[in-house]
């Protein structure tokens, strides 16, 4: 297999680890914990894994013997840079516990456990994947581990392979399910520990205990690299407005972080749109005003960052989509009979006045998209809407109107971009390489201590890696009860962008001047070999959040 | 102005230079040269700048005195990484000739010369831009310098500023015009030398004398970085076909280079499509066959690289577009009266049978696009066609048909990407930083020798920079006569991908196995600080072309 020069050179990078994990460890236990809300309900659902103490590892003074423990590992959900290093750290940690420990990877996500598809991850295989991006070592998948049947089926293969611990690397939902599985295996005395690891480029799995999810750092740096390049182009050609959509449907952390790294002329934060009950027209008007103001100063160019999930955070759009979902589900047959050229007017005539007005205000293509392809649940596929084009086009329409009204003089040419797949499988930054390796190694330590229902936790992450803290957080501690598909479920609270948090407030304090001036920052590509201030810095989000 | 850590660290990079340029130089002249074709015609048009000798600089044994020479510089056309280093090298070279030499930048491209918009580039300003991407130091533009009026108008400001030399940094057309300007100023005894520098990310300005144009290296590395990341995602999720379009309308060098760097499952090369007189359906069928073959092996995923200019290289599409241009120009009023829903059938009924069939075979959106927005000359705006979606959709339609016919079993989900603006203004790779600085410094040497009508030339570029050769190539030497807008014009020959050249042949020899296996290479981001095999390698194209 041919490799690039960088693949070859990067393979030998030794991830930096917290001092506490470098030799044998002892687990220092804190007080009993509580869930973040709904304590009684969560306690009832998790009698065996509720209320466990926080754990912090310290270097051990005395040497201990550990028995070999075979462990399974699963990559769950979307790719995030550093997943391979979690597995490498886990492998090394297990071997440090006992050289006869084995690591098995379940293939293509949680379904590998249920369908008994797996491979042993030997030292040779692990070597090939150190410090690389991607989840291709064992693949990933989106099957949800939720049912007793799945758990029992999984247990068959775990027992067959004599596996005593399972590490699930995933986002908030996958870690919720890891805890449900931990509880179930504890309840039936299956003898299988379950440990979670916090993964997601979206950055929405974080809380008091978990400072950041892995992959966020690298993905944001890749996006910021290309945003910076586009901004330099924008500032050289001085003739385009670039509308750049960034992955992340459920929260705007990526978009906010990239804005902090690159200082675009405007950035939309979905959480702010929702909190202020803004309409799409409000958002468009704001951007058009910035375009007009810059044009008045002779600058017919600029950049706008857009979070992928915007549409679903606009209250009026949410209402429209909900009514469309219901209406089209009930009238699918009749709608299918309407001539293509009549469909638009048909929909407008059937919706409630308020939603009909919103629908009519959308560009034809977007409106049409909302009435087309449905997902398997019959819902509008919001992810297929090209929000970046929608915004660019609506801003253009608004400016055209203003020009006719004599309110705007300028040229408006738009370019659109969407970045997502470009960042999910990049080779991890030093931060993610170190953080992931430590998370995995630390997971092995939790296994060695016999823990279950814990999430591997590395904290103090804005300090040099040697000073990072390592330990475990009971997953139940992060849970509350939320309505999902009509039922109350215990789930890990998703972290949205906080409008009173330091990252948002820092951006908000500067955005007026970003809009007016051209203060682009050009972060450039991730560097692996240079000075530490270039290679080892965590995200602005993390730095601002952890700032005392 | 806030800067990123990398901007700060990279500012102090000292570009590597050929040994020959490190002290004072002497110009060693070769024999008189000839144009590559149409010698009599070119000689007639360029009596003052035709037949000049090739020049190679050697270290001088004796010190010479140079008078101060004020010089103007113009960035012409699309951005390319390294333009700022050409200017920095030029500045340093001029100051080495004489500290009182001044450098003026004309603003926003050639129009700055004609409209007398300029700024002096002082040492302070130059310092801010060393080793950075973009053309924002003075901006760029696409005005063509072609008329006597422009030349005379430009001369006014040159004389006003006492400028004795002009450096034009541009692609093939800009360098052609630089030579026309050199000839004109020589003819009228204006006392202004004109020197060109070979710029374009497209890589289509190269020939026997000029090994590569600057920016190609960096841009291809940025695109290959994100293509590699997408491929790793593709190979992890194992559920998408990614169709990736790359900038470069007039030649497929970028797409070919990126393919050599990343080994996708398929790569379209426009020049091959044209040479083999392939239809769009031929291209689609080939890709669909690869999708089907991979599906049969259980691999419902893959990557395809597509050059931006594809449509214009498909002979049948070229014919269709030509007829559409003529027909719509003649029937604009009547067409405007046709109802939107009837336009498609109207066009089909009016075109010749062959072109009507091609038109009818296109997805509705693309066909519609071809009849919409026209450029200022009334032509179809081919660049607005989303070729990557066109190909993805047509492959899907073909597979659907095959599935119905029982010829294909598999899942087909497509994602599309277009990369262009992401790479044009990246901070230059070491190669481009060194190459550009040397080109600029070398241009100053040509100015010092009193040359005009030359292109700055740095060769032997696959050797370490210290061994690069520096000199000048008479621009007339690269010219031939071509028909442009109905008139025969002297132009620099554009370099298309040669089907018998080493880069194409290397790809062609391996593509069957790339299609079948999954042999992706992941180049990762450009590195500025690491080992030389990671940081200093030229493109695969250059390495293969220069291989003896």
Residue bearing the bigger pLDDT, A240 or B373? A240
Q: What is the pLDDT of residues A472-494, one digit of tens each?
A: 999 999 999 999 878 899 999 99
A529:B530 CB<8 A = yes
pLDDT-derived band at A100 (thresholds 50, 70, 90) equals very high
Compute the average pLDDT of residues A117-146. 97
A524:B134 CB<8 A = no
Q: What is the pLDDT of residues A161-182, one digit of tens each?
A: 999 999 999 999 999 999 999 9
A9:B534 CB<8 A = yes
Measure A532 CA to nearest chain B CA, in Å.
Answer: 10
Kindly report the backbone phi and psi dihedral angles of residue B338, in degrees, each rounded to the nearest multiple of 5, phi listed first. -70, 135
- Residue B235's Cβ-side half-sphere holds a number of Cα atoms within 13 Å equal to 23
End-to-end CA distance of chain B: 48
Residues B39, B40, B46, CA angle at the centre, nearest 5°?
85
ipTM confidence = 0.96
Q: What pLDDT is stored for residue B385 in this prediction?
A: 87
Q: What is the pLDDT of residues A8-35, one digit of tens each?
A: 999 999 999 999 999 999 999 999 999 9
Evaluate if residue A545 carries a pLDDT over 80.
Answer: yes
DSSP A116-180: T-EEE--HHHHHHHTT--SSTTT--B-----SHHHHHHHHHHHHHTTEEEEEEEE-HHHHHHHHH
**Which residues of chain B make contact with A427, given a CB cutoff of 8 A?**
522, 524
Element (H or E) spanning A415, and its range? strand A414-419
Minimum-distance CB partner of A230 among B7, B229, B421: B421
Q: What is the pLDDT of residues A320-354, one digit of tens each?
A: 998 998 898 888 888 888 888 788 999 999 999 99
Q: What pLDDT is stored for residue B329 in this prediction?
A: 84
Minimum-distance CB partner of B425 among A9, A139, A229: A229
Separation of alpha carbons A352 and A105, rounded Å: 52
B9:A222 CB<8 A = no
Q: Which of B10-24, B293-307, B366-380 has the lowest mean pLDDT?
A: B366-380
Separation of alpha carbons A444 and A421, rounded Å: 30
**Which residues of chain B make contact with A261, given a CB cutoff of 8 A?**
4
**Which residues of chain A make contact with B523, given a CB cutoff of 8 A?**
4, 6
Minimum-distance CB partner of B425 among A133, A233, A238: A233
Tokens 């692609």 map to which residue?
B171
B134:A232 CB<8 A = yes
Separation of alpha carbons B210 and B232, rounded Å: 35
pTM: 0.97
Separation of alpha carbons A302 and A391, rounded Å: 14
Measure A230 CA to nearest chain B CA, in Å.
Answer: 5
pLDDT-derived band at B381 (thresholds 50, 70, 90) equals confident
Compute the average pLDDT of residues B168-179. 97
Evaluate if residue A426 carries a pLDDT over 90.
Answer: yes
Compute the average pLDDT of residues B470-496. 94
Separation of alpha carbons B316 and B324, rounded Å: 12
Kindly identify which residue of chain B lies nearest to residue A8, measuring between CA atoms.
Answer: B534
Separation of alpha carbons A177 and A167, rounded Å: 12
The conformation of residue B476, written as its DSSP 8-state character, comes to: G
Q: Do the beta carbons of residue B469 and residue B59 sit within 8 Å?
A: no
% of chain A surpassing 70 pLDDT: 99
Separation of alpha carbons A245 and A243, rounded Å: 7
Measure B292 CA to nearest chain A CA, in Å.
Answer: 22
Compute the average pLDDT of residues B503-530. 97
Q: Which of A185, A94, A105 minimizes the C-alpha distance to A145?
A: A185
A225:B525 CB<8 A = yes
Q: What is the pLDDT of residues B279-331, one digit of tens each?
A: 999 999 999 999 999 999 999 999 999 999 999 999 999 999 989 988 988 88
Measure A284 CA to nearest chain B CA, in Å.
Answer: 24
Measure B521 CA to nearest chain A CA, in Å.
Answer: 6
**Which residues of chain B make contact with A421, given a CB cutoff of 8 A?**
229-230, 233-234, 242, 415, 417
B3:A529 CB<8 A = no
pLDDT-derived band at B335 (thresholds 50, 70, 90) equals confident
Q: What pLDDT is stored for residue A370 in this prediction?
A: 86
**Which residues of chain A make contact with B242, given a CB cutoff of 8 A?**
421
Q: What is the pLDDT of residues A240-271, one digit of tens each?
A: 999 999 998 899 999 999 999 999 999 999 99
Q: What is the pLDDT of residues B124-133, one digit of tens each?
A: 999 999 999 9
The conformation of residue A199, written as its DSSP 8-state character, comes to: B
Kindly report the backbone phi and psi dihedral angles of residue A191, in degrees, each rounded to the nearest multiple of 5, phi listed first. 75, 30
C-alpha pair distances (Å), B334 with each of B329, B343, B379, B380: 10, 11, 17, 17
B248 annotated ligand-binding residue? yes
Q: Which residues partner with A172 through β-bridges?
A: none
Evaluate if residue B378 carries a pLDDT over 90.
Answer: no
Q: What is the mean pLDDT of chain A?
A: 95
A403 annotated ligand-binding residue? no
The conformation of residue B423, written as its DSSP 8-state character, comes to: T
Element (H or E) spanning B350, and its range? helix B340-350
Q: What is the mean pLDDT of chain B?
A: 95
Question: Which tokens hold the place of A168?
Answer: 């699930």
Tokens 């201990």 map to which residue?
A64
Kindly identify which residue of chain A lies nearest to residue B232, measuring between CA atoms.
Answer: A134
**Which residues of chain A make contact with B215, given a CB cutoff of 8 A?**
none
Q: What pLDDT is stored for residue A443 in this prediction?
A: 98
Compute the average pLDDT of residues B228-248. 97
Element (H or E) spanning B502, and its range? helix B502-516
Separation of alpha carbons A304 and A297, rounded Å: 18
A521:B3 CB<8 A = yes
Burial degree of B160 (CB within 10 A; 0-12, 13-18, 19+) = exposed
Evaluate if residue A77 carries a pLDDT over 90.
Answer: yes
Q: Is A375 helix (H, G, I), strand (E, B) or coil?
A: coil
Chains A, B: CB pairs < 8 Å: 196
Torsion angle in degrees (nearest 10) through CA of B41, B45, B46, B51: 10
pLDDT-derived band at B370 (thresholds 50, 70, 90) equals confident
Burial degree of B464 (CB within 10 A; 0-12, 13-18, 19+) = middle
Q: Which residues partner with B165 through β-bridges?
A: B71, B193
B4:A527 CB<8 A = no
Minimum-distance CB partner of B232 among A134, A242, A528: A134
Max CA-CA distance within chain A?
81
Compute the average pLDDT of residues A92-103. 98
pLDDT-derived band at A459 (thresholds 50, 70, 90) equals very high
In chain A, helix, strand, coil percent, each to 5?
Answer: 45, 15, 35
Separation of alpha carbons B172 and B475, rounded Å: 10
B410 annotated ligand-binding residue? no
Q: List active site positions of B.
A: 202
Evaluate if residue A275 carries a pLDDT over 90.
Answer: yes
A424 annotated ligand-binding residue? yes
Residues B407, B409, B411, CA angle at the centre, nearest 5°?
135
Compute the average pLDDT of residues B328-356. 89
């Amino acid at each position: 297999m041919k490799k690039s020069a960088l693949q070859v050179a990067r393979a030998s990078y030794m991830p930096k680890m917290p001092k506490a994990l470098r030799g044998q460890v002892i687990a220092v236990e804190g007080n009993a914990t509580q869930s973040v809300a709904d304590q009684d309900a969560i306690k009832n659902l998790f009698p065996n894994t509720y209320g466990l103490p926080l754990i912090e590892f310290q270097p051990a003074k005395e040497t201990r013997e550990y028995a070999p423990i075979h462990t399974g590992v699963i990559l769950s959900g979307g790719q995030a840079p550093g997943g391979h290093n979690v597995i490498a750290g886990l492998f090394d940690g297990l071997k440090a516990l006992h050289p006869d420990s084995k690591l098995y990877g379940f293939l293509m996500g949680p379904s590998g456990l249920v369908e008994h598809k797996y491979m042993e991850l030997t030292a040779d295989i692990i070597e090939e994947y150190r410090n690389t991006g991607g989840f291709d070592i064992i693949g990933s998948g989106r099957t949800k581990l939720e049912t007793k049947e799945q758990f029992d089926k999984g247990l068959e293969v775990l027992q067959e392979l004599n596996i005593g611990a399972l590490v699930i690397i995933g986002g908030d939902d996958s870690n919720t399910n890891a805890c449900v599985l931990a509880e179930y295996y504890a309840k039936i005395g299956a003898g299988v520990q379950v440990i979670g690891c916090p993964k997601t480029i979206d950055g929405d799995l974080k809380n008091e205990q978990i400072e950041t999810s892995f992959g966020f750092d690298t993905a944001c740096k890749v996006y910021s690299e290309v945003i910076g390049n586009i901004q330099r182009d924008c500032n050289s050609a001085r003739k385009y407005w670039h509308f750049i959509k960034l992955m992340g449907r459920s929260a705007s952390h990526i978009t906010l972080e990239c804005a902090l790294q690159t200082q675009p002329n405007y950035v939309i934060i979905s959480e702010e749109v929702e909190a202020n009950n803004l309409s799409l027209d409000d958002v468009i008007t704001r951007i058009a005003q910035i375009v007009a103001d810059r044009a008045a100063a002779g600058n017919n160019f600029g950049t706008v960052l857009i979070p992928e999930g915007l549409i679903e955070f606009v209250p009026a759009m949410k209402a429209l989509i909900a009514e469309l979902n219901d209406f089209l589900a009930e009238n699918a047959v009749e709608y299918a009979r309407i001539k293509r050229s009549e469909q638009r007017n048909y929909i407008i005539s059937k919706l409630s006045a308020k939603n009909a007005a919103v629908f009519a205000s959308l560009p034809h293509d977007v409106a049409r998209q909302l009435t087309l392809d449905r997902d398997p649940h019959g819902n509008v596929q919001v992810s297929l809407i090209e929000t970046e084009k929608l915004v660019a086009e609506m801003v253009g329409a608004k400016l055209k109107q203003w020009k006719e009204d004599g309110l705007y003089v300028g040229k408006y040419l738009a370019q659109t971009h969407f970045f997502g797949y470009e960042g999910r499988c990049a080779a991890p930054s030093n931060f993610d390489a170190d953080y992931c390796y430590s998370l995995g190694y630390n997971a092995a330590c939790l296994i060695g201590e016999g823990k279950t229902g814990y999430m591997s936790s590395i904290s103090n992450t804005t300090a040099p890696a040697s000073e990072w803290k390592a330990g475990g957080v009971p997953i139940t501690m992060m849970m509350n009860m939320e309505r999902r598909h009509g039922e109350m479920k215990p789930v890990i609270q998703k972290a949205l962008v906080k409008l009173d948090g330091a990252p948002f407030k820092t951006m908000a304090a500067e955005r007026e001047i970003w809009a007016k001036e051209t203060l682009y920052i050009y972060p450039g590509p991730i560097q692996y070999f240079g000075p530490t201030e270039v290679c080892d810095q965590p995200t602005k989000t993390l730095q601002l959040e952890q700032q005392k």
